[in-house]
Amino acid sequence: MERRLGKPIVTVVVIVALLGAAIFYGAYHLLKRTEPFALGEHCLVETPDGTLDLDIEQAQVAATIAAVAVQRKLPERAMQIAYVTAIQESKLANLPYGDRDSVGVFQQRPSQGWGTAKQLQDPVYATRKFFAALEKVKHYRTLPLHEAAQAVQRSADGSAYADHEYNAKILSAAFSGRVPRAVHCWYPPPDKPVKPRPEAARKQLVRALGTDSSAENGWLIAAWYVVNAQKYGLRQVRYDGVTWTAASGHDGWRKDTKPVATVQIA
């Protein structure tokens, strides 16, 4: 004869099943939330047009390109042209090698008059050289991005730059500062205490941007400090009513209890 489970037993089974499902659901979403931490060091770029994951070096290069463009009073489109080029040539990395004698973010060649290998591995210098060449391209502001890039680079296959236009537009929106709070980074705490070097950070920013004043470029400056925070031991970046902290970098920008009108670092 088949035995039926009693009502209390059925109730217990249902409760256990529900608890198991709840635990699985919670564990899954916890893992999803903490998954980026497995990457160690990382930056997230979020704009209405899309989201990009960058490593720290890529984010630093992207911030430098934006700063140099603003220093030269170039439009956001010039940034986009630089981004499609840098993504294709180096994946936004400051490479010490390349095809033949090519080096750096844009894979510029010393033998072609771009500068010395040492100079071209300085992202600020390399970006200035790229923009100087771009400014000589007629109608670069209206040319398709990949055509403008090819006019500067004269690579074997200029059509490849077109593959990166979507990402370039996300980067320019974020690092130009047009989209506020678009960039945040996180990284493991250092093994030993690191002394913050805010003055060194300001000096390098001024070299790329020409100023450390946030009167006109507040979110560009804030993003630059965030992506360079690990390099200079910065613990905090504050601006426009929100704060990013290194200790909880993954949480992004959080409302500040004491809003400030200019970018402040510590």
pLDDT, tens digit (0-9, with 9 covering 90-100), for 239-251: 999 999 999 999 9
Same domain (yes/no): 140, 214: no
Rg (CA), the chain: 24
- The answer to the question of residue 33 being in a domain is no
pLDDT, tens digit (0-9, with 9 covering 90-100), for 24-83: 434 333 333 333 333 579 999 999 999 999 999 999 999 999 999 999 999 999 999 999
Same domain (yes/no): 232, 168: no
Integer Cα distance of 238 and 4 in angstroms: 65
Same domain (yes/no): 65, 169: yes
Same domain (yes/no): 202, 153: no
> At residue 256, does pLDDT exceed 50?
yes
Domain encompassing residue 150: 50-175
Integer Cα distance of 237 and 198 in angstroms: 10
Q: Provide mean pLDDT across the span 107-127.
A: 97
Integer Cα distance of 123 and 218 in angstroms: 22
Same domain (yes/no): 103, 203: no
Cα separations (Å) of 112 from 115, 126, 176, 181, 226? 8, 13, 30, 40, 35
pLDDT attached to residue 6? 53
In the chain, % of residues over pLDDT 70: 85
CA atoms within 13 A on the CB side of 200: 10
Q: Provide mean pLDDT across the span 139-161.
A: 94
Q: Do the beta carbons of residue 45 and residue 60 sit within 8 Å?
A: no
Per-residue tokens: 123? 């992202």
- The answer to the question of residue 181 being in a domain is no
Number of separate domains in the chain? 2
- The answer to the question of residue 112 being in a domain is yes
> At residue 8, does pLDDT exceed 70?
no
Which residue carries 């603003």 as its tokens?
A: 70
Integer Cα distance of 236 and 251 in angstroms: 13
Same domain (yes/no): 69, 100: yes
Q: Do the beta carbons of residue 136 and residue 71 sit within 8 Å?
A: no
Q: Reduced to 3 states, what is the DSSP secondary structure of residue 45? A: strand
pLDDT attached to residue 156? 76
> At residue 130, does pLDDT exceed 50?
yes
Per-residue tokens: 8? 């209390």
> At residue 205, does pLDDT exceed 80?
yes
Per-residue tokens: 261? 């009108």
Average pLDDT, rounded, for the chain: 88
Cα separations (Å) of 208 from 18, 88, 124, 127? 57, 22, 6, 9
pLDDT attached to residue 122? 98
Q: Provide mean pLDDT across the span 142-168.
A: 94
pLDDT attached to residue 181? 98
